[in-house]
Amino acid sequence: MSFLGLDIGTSFIKAAVLKPETWQLEHVRRVPFPDPLCTGNPHRCEYEPMAIVSAVRVLIDQLVPHSSDCEGLMICAQMHGLVLMNGKREAVSNCITWRDERALEEHPSGLGSYFDAILECLTPEVRAQLGNELLPARPICFLYWLNQQRKLEDGLIPLSLPDFVVSTLCGSDPGVEATNASAYGSFNLETFDWHRGLIGTLGLGHLCWPRLRHEGDVVGYLKLGSKTVPCYTPVGDAQAALVGALLGEEELSLNVATGAQVSRLTNSLELGEYQTRPYFDRKFLHTFSHPPGGRVLNVLVDLVTELAEQNENRPDPWAYIVHATEQVHETDLDVDLKLFSETGNVRGKISNICSDNLSVGHLFRAAFRSMAESYYRCALKLWPEKSWKGLVFSGGLACKLSALREETRKRFGSPFRLTPESEDTLFGLLILGSLFSGKAKSLEQMSLDLRTQNMKGSG
pLDDT surpasses 60 at 446: yes
Q: What is the mean pLDDT of residues 218-225?
A: 92
Please report whether residue 444 resides in a domain: no
The residue count of the chain comes to 459
Nearest C-alpha neighbor of 292 from the set 372, 410, 359: 372
In the chain, how many domains are there?
Answer: 2
Q: Are 105 and 136 in contact (CB under 8 A)?
A: no
Band (pLDDT 50/70/90 cuts) for residue 345 is low
Query: Residue 458: pLDDT above 60?
Result: no
pLDDT at 342 over 50: no
Tell me what the mean pLDDT of segment 60-80 comes to: 93
pTM, entire model: 0.90
Sign for the CA dihedral angle at 243, 244, 246, 252 comes to negative
227 plus 323 within the same structural domain: no
In this predicted structure, the answer to whether residue 97 has a pLDDT above a threshold of 70 is: yes
146-190: pLDDT as tens digits: 999 999 999 999 999 999 999 999 999 999 999 999 999 999 999
| 214 domain-assigned | yes
pLDDT at site 321 = 93
Q: Do 318 and 231 fall into the same domain?
A: no
Supply the pLDDT for residue 448: 87
**Contact, 238 vs 279, CB < 8 A?**
no
Instruction: Give backbone dihedrals phi and psi of 121, rounded to 5 degrees, phi first.
Output: -85, -5
Check residue 310 and give its pLDDT. 65
Q: How confident is the model at residue 363 (pLDDT cuts 50, 70, 90)?
A: very high
Q: Say if residue 312 is in the same domain as residue 352.
A: yes
Considering the domain architecture, whether residues 91 and 222 belong to the same structural domain is answered as yes
Segment 74-91 mean pLDDT: 94
Residue 170: CB atoms within 10 Å = 18
Residue 93 CA to residue 68 CA, distance in Å, equals 36
Output the pLDDT for position 407: 96
Query: Do both 187 and 259 map to the same domain?
Result: no
What residues does 227 pair with on adjacent strands? 224
CA distance 144 to 117: 10
438 in a structural domain: no
pLDDT of residue 156: 97
Residues 185 and 303 occupy one common structural domain = no
Segment 223-245 shows an average pLDDT of: 93
pLDDT higher at 337 or 346: 337
pLDDT tens per residue, range 239-280? 999 999 999 999 999 999 888 999 999 999 999 999 999 999
pLDDT-based confidence at residue 343 (cuts at 50, 70, 90): very low
Buried b (16+ CB within 10 A) or exposed e, 408-437: bbebbebebbbbbbebbbbbbbbbbbbbbb
Range of the domain at 181: 2-236
Q: What CATH number does the domain containing 163 carry? A: 3.30.420.40
φ, ψ of residue 352 to 5 degrees: the values are 60, 40
Tell me: do 308 and 373 sit in the same domain.
Answer: yes
Closest CA to 289 of 238, 250, 252, 241: 238
Q: Are residues 16 and 77 in the same domain?
A: yes
Determine contact, residues 446/431, Cβ cutoff 8 Å: yes
- Give the amino acid at 420: P
- 450: in domain: no
371 in the same domain as 251? yes
- Residue 149, number of CB atoms within 10 A of its CB: 11
| Residue 434 belongs to some domain of the structure | no
Cα 270 to Cα 317: distance, rounded to the nearest angstrom: 43
Three-class DSSP labels, the chain: CEEEEEEECCCEEEEEEEECCCCEEEEEEEEECCCCCCCCCCCCCEECHHHHHHHHHHHHHHHHHHCCCEEEEEEEECCCCEEEECCCCCECCCEECCCCCHHHCECCCCCCEHHHHHHHCCCHHHHHHCCCCCCCCCHHHHHHHHHHCCCCCCCCEEEEHHHHHHHHHHCCCCEEEHHHHHHHCCEECCCCEECHHHHHHCCCCCCCCCEEECCCCEEEEEEECCEEEEEECCEEHHHHHHHHCCCCCCEEEEEECCCEEEEEEECCCCCCCCEEEECCCCCEEEEECCCCCHHHHHHHHHHHCCHHHHCCCCCCHHHHHHHHHHHCCCCCCEEECCCEECCEECCCEEECCCCCCCCHHHHHHHHHHHHHHHHHHHHHHHCCCCCCCEEEEECHHHHHCHHHHHHHHHHHCCCEEECCCCCHHHHHHHHHHHHHCCCCCCHHHHHHHHHHHCCCCCC
Please check the confidence at residue 295 and state whether its pLDDT lies above 90.
no
Q: Same domain, yes or no, for 395 and 301?
A: yes
- Residue-wise pLDDT for 42-56, tens only, equals 889 999 999 999 999
- 313 has pLDDT over 80: no
Q: Are residues 251 and 352 in the same domain?
A: yes
Q: Is residue 452 part of a domain?
A: no
Please indicate, yes or no, if residue 90 is contained in any of the structural domains: yes
Q: pLDDT band for position 449 (50/70/90)?
A: confident
pLDDT score at 353:
94
Domain boundary, last residue among 206, 236, 266: 236
Query: Which of 35, 54, 56, 57 has its CA nearest to residue 46?
Result: 35
Q: Is the pLDDT assigned to residue 405 strictly greater than 90?
A: yes
Average pLDDT score, the chain: 92
pLDDT band at 290 (very low <50, low <70, confident <90, very high): confident
Which of 217-231, 306-320, 340-354, 386-400 has the least mean pLDDT? Answer: 340-354
Task: Kindly state whether residue 456 falls inside one of the protein's structural domains.
Answer: no
pLDDT at 339 (0 to 100):
57
Segment 303-308 mean pLDDT: 83
Domain check: are 266 and 150 in the same one?
no
